[in-house]
Amino acid sequence: MNQVAILAGGLGTRLRARLGDLPKPMIPIAGQPLLARQIELARRHGFHRVTLFVCHRPDLIERELGDGRRWDIQLDYVAETAPLGTAGAVLAGWDDLEEEFVVMYGDTMVNLDLTRLCATHRQSGADATLVLHPNNHPFDSDLVECDDNDRILAFHNRPHPPGRWFQNLVNAGLYVIRRPALAGFHDAFIAEKPPRALDFGRDIFPAMLRQGKKLMGYNTPEYIKDIGTPERYDKVCDEVARGVVERSSFTHPAPAVFLDRDGTLNHEADGLRSIDQLRLLPGVSEAVQELNRGGFRVVVVTNQPVVAKGFVSEKQLREIHNKLESLLGLEHAYVDRVYYCPHHPDGGFPGERPELKIACECRKPAPGMLLRAARELNLDLKRSWMVGDTTVDMQCARNAGVRPLLVETGHAGRDGRFSASPERSFPGLPEAVRYILQQSSLPAPAP
């Protein structure tokens, strides 16, 4: 794969006071045009060809960026005579597309491991791979539903129907696409006179799903944010200046806070079996939001033997976790990933599932879920923490090499199953998070 297609056609009306007559993708970020930063990212990950789809002031963009020689890449320009939408612009430039290519929106600040993204796409054999991420306002976002293997099942546009809980995954506006998968759309597009504007998220991807094409989600906590309003632009500039953008890439190991679920985030229900039983503990949304702001990956790790016992199906558990993510999102908080262990070693339950009655490496206190998260999210376990309400959580933290904190909600450490002790105990998650943030601002303790 050698081509990145950047959709650089936006005028940026809401940023007009900052832009003047500049096209939106040319807005400066720390003294450098946003487009130049995207081109550098592509080159850093081995791409040698960038194609710019431009509409507003292509002359200005070409005069500023030239032919790409300064980055040692081939820089091509495809001009739109009229706005055609994100997908329409690409379909209109059909002859300039390679067999597989990356699509990037020109009004997004991106720091993402494109090499890893493309390798995941190839391995899956997908027709298209969409970069997805959680956000802190899923209630007013278009959401993407995936199965446990990251295959996209559905798109849920806002407003969401009342009483339905959806996974907090948002289309981030960065894709890897196989050109042959778009052939039918291209033929229909050029047959219309004049061609109508088409959008990838609204038009193309839902239609591909209806046709049975394979769409995969690439869920990543890496940095990708649009700069479409003055407030978003100012925030991106601030996060560039503070190093947040640089540290966000998978090329940099990140610290994490691992959170137990029942008794830590939500009220303990002695084996939660119904979505109606899920109620967040006081203050946990604000605490998770503080971790989001503090630069930590936030990862839920939970034993769910109710699956092995036959009390809850994977589908029901997924809906429970969707509600958890949605309730956090209502308070502008999010978790980067939820991992669960469905196993249980003991038999004797009516309706149990024999294939899940095993001794596994993921059931806490075994560290399997934490180690998997470390691989998938490139986590620095030495700078990471575990917060839970049981001695099982404390032993798991010790086994994984992360710092253990106990909360006095839920079981409050009274389960007595292991002798592992916490570093500190706190009344609840808000107090534990304050301690984590305080400790993380201090020099690391001696080994």
Domain with residue 35: its CATH number is 3.90.550.10
- pLDDT value of position 12: 58
447 inside domain: no
Question: Which residue range forms the structural domain that includes residue 436?
Answer: 253-440
Query: 45 lies in a domain?
Result: yes
What local confidence, expressed as pLDDT, does residue 442 receive? 52
pLDDT of the residue at 329: 94
Residue that is last in its domain, among 237, 262, 292: 237
In a domain, 257, yes or no: yes
In a domain, 297, yes or no: yes
Going by C-beta distance under 8 Å and a sequence separation of 6 or more, which residues neighbour residue 358? 343, 345
Separation CA 305–CA 223 (nearest Å): 35
The C-alpha atoms of residue 260 and residue 402 are separated, in whole angstroms, by 14
Beta strand 28-29 with 32-33 is antiparallel
Which pLDDT score, from 0 to 100, does residue 148 have? 87
| Catalytically annotated residue among 262, 336, 389, 393 | 262
Residues 324 and 197 in one domain: no
Q: Are residues 214 and 319 in the same domain?
A: no
Taking residue 227's Cβ as centre, other Cβ atoms within 10 Å add up to 24
pLDDT of residue 81: 79
Q: Are 218 and 129 in contact (CB under 8 A)?
A: yes
Please tell me the predicted confidence (pLDDT) of residue 446.
Answer: 40
My answer on whether 112 and 216 are in the same domain is yes
260 is catalytic: yes
**CA angle, corner 394, sides to 392 and 398, nearest 5?**
115
One domain for residues 34 and 163: yes
Q: Which of 188, 210, 237 is the last residue of a domain?
A: 237
CATH code of the domain in which 348 resides: 3.40.50.1000
Residues 428 and 353 in one domain: yes
Same domain, 307 and 436: yes
Residue 352 located in a structural domain: yes
Taking the C-alpha atoms of residue 170 and residue 159, their distance in angstroms, rounded to an integer, is 14
Judgement on whether residues 132 and 206 belong to the same structural domain of the protein = yes
pLDDT digits (tens, 9 = 90+) for 175-188: 999 999 999 999 99
Considering the chain, what percentage of its residues have pLDDT values greater than 70?
98
Residue at 355: amino acid letter: E
| pTM (2 d.p.) | 0.91
One DSSP character per residue, 50-78 reads: EEEEE-S-HHHHHHHHTTSGGGTSEEEEE
Q: Are residues 260 and 363 in the same domain?
A: yes
Same domain, 181 and 280: no
Cα 208 from Cα 127, distance rounded (Å): 9
Nearest-angstrom CA–CA distance, 217 and 169: 9
Domain count, the chain: 2
In a domain, 340, yes or no: yes
- Same domain as 266, residue 233: no
Q: Is residue 445 part of a domain?
A: no
Whole-angstrom distance, CA of residue 238 vs CA of residue 183: 42
- Residue that terminates a domain, selected from 237, 263, 296: 237
- Looking at the structure, tell me whether residues 161 and 293 fall in a common domain: no
Strand segments, DSSP code E, in 66-158 are 74-79, 100-105, 108-111, 128-133, 143-146, 152-156
CB count in 10 Å sphere of residue 355: 9
**Which residue's entry shows tokens 């950047």?**
6
Question: For residue 11, what pLDDT is reported?
Answer: 56
234 counts as catalytic: no
d(CA 447, CA 434): 23
- Which parts of the chain have pLDDT scores under 50? 443-447
Tell me the H-state helices in 22-113. Answer: 34-44, 58-65, 85-92
Residue 193 lies in a domain: yes
Same domain, 423 and 336: yes
Determine which one of 260, 336, 389, 393 is catalytic.
260
